[in-house]
Amino acid sequence: MRGTKRPLGAVTSWVRRQPPKVKAFLAVVTGMAALVFIRFIVHDHDNLFVAAEAAHALGIGVLIYKLTKEKTCAGLSLKSQDLTALFLAVRLYCSFVMEYDIHTILDTATLVATLFVIYMIRFKLRSTYMVDKDNFALYYVVVPCAALALLIHPSTSHNLVNRVSWAFCVYLEAVSVLPQLRLMQNTKIVEPFTAHYVFALGVARFLSCAHWVLQVLDTRGRLLTALGYGLWPSMVLLSEIVQTFILADFCYYYVKSLVGGQLVLRLPSGVV
């Protein structure tokens, strides 16, 4: 057991000492290696998207357990939950009017669970809500996402409102976790259930990103043409990559904390 911990600890220490550019390069290499591994073990890459939504739902399930059993919402960002509910509602609307499938059902269940979390934080457990720490201004993300959606959206045959809405939910999903990360940076200490939830989001983002990248590779780029023309296909992929990298640093410290046997995650300054 000691023999396995020492090499892992040495690697962790080495990575921690590296400058930011080296860490970013190592993250890219690790991500590419993971994509290659997934491509060979998962034959139907559509399953990755379902797995991503399942990981998101699992994360929300952890939150519901925390809220109902521990009777506290300390460490949770209401603003992140509001953004999540908003992009899920918009995506559901787009699903109903543009493309009704299994993802519509999964999104409906996730939205219901998210609304329950919002209800618990806003009303039942309001006294434990860290309102002073949850200080991320939502217009910093909602307004730019709306403006970007007006400028860059699918060029399909659907109604313009539907196409802009689709783009808006894609962009908003990419940055919806920022208020939660800001709250955790303000507190510096993240309790286990909140850490599990954010890590589940990181896994979901990675699986979703892997789904899109592998689909593009499998279709030899034809998927990008199917999504439309202009900048929109590239923006879809960029949004997926942004989502993954936003949470990559937190996931690194989460795994490091688990390996070290720590129940409470302590974040250094500048992580998010």
Predicted confidence at residue 133, as pLDDT, reads 93
Question: What token pair was written down for 41?
Answer: 């073990």
Predicted confidence at residue 2, as pLDDT, reads 47
Question: What token pair was written down for 172?
Answer: 């908003």
The predicted model scores a pTM of 0.79
Domain boundaries, the chain: 38-260
Q: How many Å apart are CA 4 and CA 133, to the nearest integer? A: 39
DSSP element (H, E) containing 188: none
Q: How many Å apart are CA 10 and CA 33, to the nearest integer? A: 21
The mean pLDDT values, 10 residues at a time, for the chain of 272 residues are: 54 65 57 57 64 84 90 93 95 82 81 94 94 93 95 84 92 92 87 87 83 68 58 80 80 74 64 52
Tell me phi and psi for residue 190, to 5 degrees.
-120, 120
Which pairs with CB-CB distance under 8 Å and at least 24 residues apart come from 52-56?
52/203, 52/204, 52/205, 52/206, 52/207, 52/208, 52/211, 53/103, 53/106, 53/107, 53/110, 53/204, 54/106, 55/200, 55/201, 55/203, 55/204, 55/207, 56/110, 56/200, 56/201, 56/204
- Residue whose pair of structure tokens reads 């690790």 in the numeric block: 30
Tell me phi and psi for residue 138, to 5 degrees.
-65, -30
Within a 10 A sphere around the Cβ of 188, how many other Cβ atoms? 12
Predicted confidence at residue 29, as pLDDT, reads 55
Within a 10 A sphere around the Cβ of 190, how many other Cβ atoms? 24
Q: Which residues pair with 228 in a beta bridge?
A: none
